[in-house]
Amino acid sequence: MPYPAQLGFQDATSPIMEELMYFHDHTLMIVFLISSLVLYIIIVMLTTKLTHTSTMDAQEVETIWTIMPAVILVLIALPSLRILYMMDEIFNPYLTVKAMGHQWYWSYEYTDYEDLTFDSYMIPTNELLPGQLRLLEVDNRVVLPMELPIRMLISSEDVLHAWAVPSLGLKADAVPGRLNQVTLTSTRPGVYYGQCSEICGSNHSFMPIVLEMTTLKYFEKWSSMMQS
């Protein structure tokens, strides 16, 4: 969960989100160093009257400021491509869950079970219990086992939606007539919140996503109870 006046990301809950945060810090440091160098050069040019007559015809300088940006782009591209391939890889998922976007709620289907489907609506403000979060709580949470690879299939039945859970590093568009796929793995138990991240109509703000990551034993007990 984010907290008031937070400037950074939410705490990472998945290996992918940890990699994304490392990549963000790596790229931000490069941007900071480049910005500092450019600002220093601008200040020096504005404050000194000294000039060098050969500066405008220096082949060495031109070579350096051509090669250096290419090297910097490579240093950014390599870890970016690595994370991109990590996000696409799925090795024998333990579970497959299909999320369908509607105006304005989510429905979920556990495809590995015979009859385990439900709709997930936001709880209205006047029905919230003490401790529940406004605009984020739902009547039916998505319960999943932690420390296991889970495949999410995401689509929509009406307009464009987006299924996003920031602490897990997940965001995928829900497009009518198309299935998008993401991999989900949580390293610890907990309740994680997300929202629809695509403007989908007047009630776009009222499509929360709540994942409850728990132990495999509790998940099997919950799934048996839901099917009975």
What pLDDT was estimated at residue 91? 77
pLDDT of 173 reads 94
Q: Where are the alpha helices (DSSP H) in the chain?
A: 15-47, 59-88, 216-227
Domains 15-88 and 95-227 share a fold: no
How far, in Å, are 79, 91, 138 from residue 196 at the CA level?
A: 28, 27, 13
Q: Which CATH superfamily is domain 95-227 in?
A: Cupredoxins -  blue copper proteins (2.60.40.420)
Classified as helix, coil or strand, 54 is: coil
pLDDT at 56 (0 to 100): 62
**169 token code pair:** 């590093």
Domain range list for the chain: 15-88, 95-227
CA distance 98 to 179: 9
Structure tokens at 80: 């970016």
The whole-angstrom separation of Cα 101 and Cα 155 is 6
Q: Are strands 150-156 and 95-102 parallel, antiparallel or unpaired?
A: parallel
Residue 92: per-residue pLDDT: 86
Closest CA to 163 of 151, 171, 175, 155: 171
Distance in angstroms (rounded) separating the CA atoms of residues 13 and 209: 16
- CB-count burial class (<10 Å; 0-12, 13-18, 19+) for 158: middle
Asked if residue 157 lies in contact with residue 100, where contact means CB atoms within 8 angstroms, the answer is yes
Q: What is the model's pLDDT at position 55?
A: 62
What is the SS3 assignment for 112? coil
Measured distance CA(17)–CA(192) in Å, rounded: 13
Q: What's residue 54's pLDDT? A: 64
Query: Taking a C-beta distance cutoff of 8 angstroms, is the pair 228, 125 a contact?
Result: no
13 is written with which tokens? 């809950």
Prediction pTM value: 0.84
Is 66 buried (19+), middle (13-18) or exposed (0-12) by CB count in 10 A? exposed
| Residue indicated by tokens 């009859």 | 115
Walk along the chain (228 residues) in steps of 10 and give the mean pLDDT of each run.
83 92 94 94 84 68 87 93 85 91 94 91 92 92 94 93 94 93 92 92 91 94 87
216's CB contacts (< 8 A; 6+ apart) are 145, 146, 148
CATH architecture under which domain 15-88 falls: Orthogonal Bundle (1.10)
What's residue 99's pLDDT?
95
